[in-house]
Amino acid sequence: MIGIMRRSHSRGGELEKHSPTRRSVALQLQGPREEAWTVGRGLEDSERWSRVLFVAAIGGPVSALPRPDLPSGAHRDLVAALHDLHHRAGWPSLRTLAAETGVSHTTVSKVFSAPILPRWGTLELLVEAMDGDTTAFHALWLSASAPAGHASHHEPRIAGRRTELAAVHRHLEAGNGLLLVTGEAGMGKTALVESASADVDCFVARGHCLPLSTEVPMLPIVDALRCILDSDDGRWLDEAVAGCPGYVGSALAELLPKLAAAAEPIRQRDTTGRQRLFVSIASLLRSLASSHPLGLLVEDLHWADTGTLDLLEHLLTTPQRLAVVGTWRVEDVTTDAGHVEWFARMTRLSKVRQIELLPLSEGETREQLSLLGVDLRDDLAARVHSRTGGQPLFTEQLAAHLEDDAPLPRLLRDLLDQRFAGISQAAWSITRALGVADRSLTADVLVAVTGLPHERLVGELHELHGRRLVRTTRLGAAELAHPLLAEATRRRLVAGEARQVHRALAGVLGAEPDASPAEVATHWEGAAEPGREIAWRIAAARSSAERYAVAGEAEQWLRALQIWPSDRATAGTPPVTRAEAYLAAMDALRVSLQFDRAAQMSDESGDRLGAVDPLTRAHLLRRAADYRGQREGPEVGLAVIEEAIAAYEALPVDVGMVHALLRKEALLQATGRYVEAGDVARLAARVGERVGDARAQRTALSWVAWHEGVEGFQEQAMRTMRRAASLVPAGSDPEGDIRQAVLLTDVLLQTGSSADDVELAGRPALEVAERWKIESYHVLLVRSNVVRARIRQGRVAEAASLVDLASEGPVDIDRWPLHLDRAMLDCLRGHVDLARARATSLMDGFGDRVVGDDLEFLSDVATVHLWSGEPDKAVAMLLPALDAMVEGTPANLTRPALLVAARGAAEATAPESPLGRHYLDTLVTLAARLPTDQGGRERGDRRIPAAYARALSAQWTAEIARLSGAGTVARWVASGDAWDALSRPHDAAYCWWQAAQVALQEGQGTVATKLLKRAARDAREHVPLLDAITKTAAGIAQESLNSPE
């Protein structure tokens, strides 16, 4: 997919994207809860009957499984959602699902068709196998599993912790002994145990320990017994006490006064009251569990009274079977020594197990934010995770204060401030240095920054370790124990204090041999010393460029320009001029997908730079041609680029001329003048050779190869690509590797090559991008081409794995290939409304610039409209673009768009209508205007693989015949066979479905049924097409049922 919209001026003007404006297009996507409701509403009776008729009509490869007859309610909603997911997954067979989940196909069948509720574990495996939303289905399952007449105990939805949840669930249902769930404060212990206990097959009696000033004996045990008492107005408890020895009621009367009336009086003073109480509680728990499964949950055992701890130890040393879950806060300095000793003693018992909760990963933090209803835009989850360290409580608190400059919520401020209470001035100087540095520091650096003697420093670090304010890294350096402590430290600094620390850090860190220029520059900025900062800023920009961290590079150059001394022509080592820094900043913004900021710099260059030398003027004109061409149209851009080329011609030969010529080539493409564009690319390659710049020559030759490929000379294109790659040593030009992969994969796509060939060509570039952490526009394009190849081969789920996560949230015009791919994938998966909304947002974002400079882009958007039932919009979008581009564009770039337009025309009108005849005449005329070579052959068809040319031609013939009312089964079957030979299952299925419809019109019901069966087999993972096939097949079955015979 290479048109002007896919081209830009990277570092030297080669390949990037144009985005005339960057508007924030708010696309509201359904979250898991809304999707769960949508899929849970069930199918209408008529639609379900259509599915049954479909199975009756064609059977075999496509199978809608039978549904159990259930009353309205949560269970029926769950079943409907599961069958809907099965449909969207392309109706995989029972044996396929059994193989993927590791359970028997009989079990799979029962989940879909039996009236009993399946176990969650099995259902979860099936949902995952069909790429469904397990969180949404779990919520549905919980609703369905709630006892009749009871409110559903929906779990507090938590992120991650799947293994821990399962362990607590299993222990409560079938375990014995004590399971301790441990972790720091705010790690989510309570949320975990409440979630796990919400849907267990036993009654969970809950008790809570509290940090009271005066110890209240057996407080959590009383809580648990009252929980049992309140569950059924005391009937269960009364029956259990009645089944115990008579002394039990008396012993427990002080804990539960309700038992006093029925208690057997104690005739003498009980000298063994504590022992009797423990035995009585054990007896009561045993009696309760004999009539109904029972589990005990005790929270915050680190605050428990000694009686509760002794009782638990007593229960664990008896043969009685009882599942107890307790939570325990670790690393809490307020936990007294006796409790710590009890914990250590318990963990040595065979009936005690421990689960330690660790911080959430970045992905799990993203999940938590999503569950909290946060709009996950950009890198928000990564930023929140870096602040909270994956601690769920902190993440929850920050979810309502997500702006980077927003103050911490009061609860967090109070919690963090308490940690600093009472520390010494020397300890504060260490904490302050770590907080301002915002990273770990070695002891030597801390000595230099704080001025403390080494021995004093070590002693203060011990004190800070004891307060859990500082920890030691694996490399032996000191760091604050949590990222938010650094924020809290900086918030406590008084006027002038921060500058002092920044100045000390800048001096000490800048003297290190491996100093980070960006870090040192930041500290000089904090010290308010721009004269010392600027050299480090320039060094930081260059360091970022060497690592291909272009977004960071841009910000470093911009900061350098902001503080540039007015009396200095150059700065940095080696020196750089202000104009060179300006150009570098503009290019880095462009490559990092910040088109609008780069364009603004171009617009303001005259005012901000003033008079410049002739070479700089030529460089600025070249960039202006790019930006103005995007926003004002390619003709305006061509006029400016001609001025730039003239400026370069008046100067000694410079690599800028190569990039100027490549910009002209892109603008010529935008006007449909492909032949001229190819000639300019060849000229650019010759100039690159003359200049002696291997990378620029490689880029130009890659564009020559692209033109050769789309003109039909595929073998020649591959030779030129290999020659281009040989110009630079392997691995020495990662950006060039990625740029060339864009063009190579695009040539393969445009000439109908297999998905495997496209992936093989694109994979090395994606590996390079991963290795260097490059996320540029070129990477988006390579990934997009691989996605397109997978889609063409019917591998929708595999394609989606490259797109879904990165494309969540509002449409970002600067990343339009990603969002166009997502629109296509959503359409194929049956989410046509979401696909149409996303495609419309893209069109709105580009505005008037989308008028025909990328026919594939327009064809994709038009295809979404077709499957959305809007063929008129598809035709209105494509015909003007084809009219503008057809004569100058190679045929193999144009004919796919002609096919989409022809399909839209046939679906929008009747064959004999005036509009239908107009569309037919227009399309035939457009086809006649396709460019030809001297032999009268369509340019672009000369060396295209015969199979691809045959498929294009066959479907064009079939679509035009359909539009004229002369469609035949033979034409559509031939077209389907041609696509089938290319392993393009969805294209083949579409043609066979059209053939079946013609067969039905001709009264060939048997032929139609066979064709539909064939179409359904190949339409897997194309939900709208499967729906269309289903409806056609259902019509056959209905007609058969209505037939008198």
Residue with tokens 């043609």: 991
Whether 1004 is in a domain gets the answer yes
CA angle 366, 371, 375 (to 5 degrees): 65
Whether residues 188 and 323 share a domain: the answer is: yes
Residue with tokens 């949230």: 809
Whether residues 206 and 342 share a domain: the answer is: yes
Q: Which of 198-212, 336-350, 748-762 has the lowest mean pLDDT?
A: 198-212
Question: pLDDT tens digits, residue range 263-298?
Answer: 454 444 444 677 888 888 888 888 888 888 888 999
Predicted local confidence at residue 19, as pLDDT? 30
Whether 724 is in a domain gets the answer no
CA angle 749, 754, 759 (to 5 degrees): 75
Predicted local confidence at residue 564, as pLDDT? 96
Whether 262 is in a domain gets the answer yes
**Residue 589 pLDDT > 80, yes or no?**
yes
DSSP state of 513: T
More confident residue, 37 or 68: 68
Predicted local confidence at residue 908, as pLDDT? 94
What does the alpha-carbon distance between residue 796 and residue 667 come to, in Å, rounded to a whole number? 34
How many CA atoms within 13 Å lie on the side-chain side of 714?
A: 18
- List residues bridging with 327 in a β-sheet: 181
Q: Where on the phi/psi map is residue 827: left (φ > 0), alpha (ψ -120 to 50), or beta?
A: alpha
Residue from 15, 241, 10 nearest 744 by CA: 15
Residue from 688, 603, 613, 680 nearest 653 by CA: 688
Give the DSSP per-residue string, 568-629.
-SEETTTTEEHHHHHHHHHHHHHHTT-HHHHHHHHHHHHHHH-S--HHHHHHHHHHHHHHHH
Whether residues 129 and 232 share a domain: the answer is: no
Whether residues 263 and 355 share a domain: the answer is: yes
* Chain length of the chain: 1045
Whether 509 is in a domain gets the answer no
Whether 627 is in a domain gets the answer no
Q: Which of 235-249, 433-447, 766-780 has the lowest mean pLDDT?
A: 235-249
- List residues bridging with 478 in a β-sheet: 441, 472
Q: Are 740 and 726 in contact (CB under 8 A)?
A: no
Question: pLDDT tens digits, residue range 116-156?
Answer: 888 787 888 889 888 888 877 877 787 776 654 444 444 44
Question: pLDDT tens digits, residue range 878-896?
Answer: 999 999 888 888 888 899 9
What does the alpha-carbon distance between residue 592 and residue 553 come to, in Å, rounded to a whole number? 9
Question: pLDDT tens digits, residue range 956-1004?
Answer: 999 999 999 999 999 999 999 999 999 999 999 999 999 999 999 999 9
Whether residues 286 and 407 share a domain: the answer is: no
Looking at 119, 145, 171, the residue that finishes a domain is: 145
Q: Are 599 and 627 in contact (CB under 8 A)?
A: yes
Q: Are 434 and 461 in contact (CB under 8 A)?
A: no
What does the alpha-carbon distance between residue 986 and residue 974 come to, in Å, rounded to a whole number? 15
**Domain carrying residue 138:** 32-145
Whether residues 208 and 100 share a domain: the answer is: no
Whole-angstrom CA distances from 969 to 722, 873, 912, 1004, 1028 are 44, 28, 20, 10, 18
> Tokens representing 428?
């504060």
Q: What is the mean pLDDT of the chain?
A: 84
Q: Where on the phi/psi map is residue 422: left (φ > 0), alpha (ψ -120 to 50), or beta?
A: left
Strands (E), 231-316: 294-299
DSSP state of 62: S
Instruction: For residues 227-237, give the mean pLDDT.
Output: 85
More confident residue, 811 or 991: 991
CATH of the domain at 127: 1.10.260
What does the alpha-carbon distance between residue 757 and residue 833 come to, in Å, rounded to a whole number? 33
Whether residues 124 and 134 share a domain: the answer is: yes
Looking at 93, 111, 145, the residue that finishes a domain is: 145
pLDDT band at residue 713 under the 50/70/90 scheme:
confident
In one letter, which amino acid is 534? I
**Residue 737 pLDDT > 60, yes or no?**
yes
What does the alpha-carbon distance between residue 817 and residue 18 come to, in Å, rounded to a whole number? 12
Predicted local confidence at residue 944, as pLDDT? 60
Residue from 775, 843, 780 nearest 817 by CA: 780
Q: Are 80 and 42 in contact (CB under 8 A)?
A: yes
Whether 538 is in a domain gets the answer yes
Predicted local confidence at residue 934, as pLDDT? 39
Whether residues 37 and 114 share a domain: the answer is: yes
**Residue 21 pLDDT > 50, yes or no?**
no
Whether residues 173 and 73 share a domain: the answer is: no
- List residues bridging with 324 in a β-sheet: 178, 296
Predicted local confidence at residue 656, as pLDDT? 97
Whether 798 is in a domain gets the answer no
In one letter, which amino acid is 983? S
In one letter, which amino acid is 485? L
**Residue 916 pLDDT > 90, yes or no?**
yes
Give how many domains the chain has, as a whole number: 5
Whether 755 is in a domain gets the answer no
Give the DSSP per-residue string, 843-897.
HHHHGGG-SSS-HHHHHHHHHHHHHTT-HHHHHHHHHHHHHHHTTTS-HHHHHHH
Q: Which of 81-95, 455-469, 506-520, 684-698 has the lowest mean pLDDT?
A: 81-95
Instruction: For residues 714-731, give the mean pLDDT.
Output: 92
In one letter, which amino acid is 694? A
pLDDT band at residue 370 under the 50/70/90 scheme:
confident
Whether residues 332 and 375 share a domain: the answer is: no
Whether residues 208 and 354 share a domain: the answer is: yes
Whether residues 417 and 547 share a domain: the answer is: no
> Tokens representing 636?
């305006």
Looking at 403, 421, 439, the residue that finishes a domain is: 421
CATH of the domain at 299: 3.40.50
Instruction: For residues 832-839, give the mean pLDDT.
Output: 94
307 sits in which H/E element? helix 306-316
**Residue 36 pLDDT > 50, yes or no?**
no
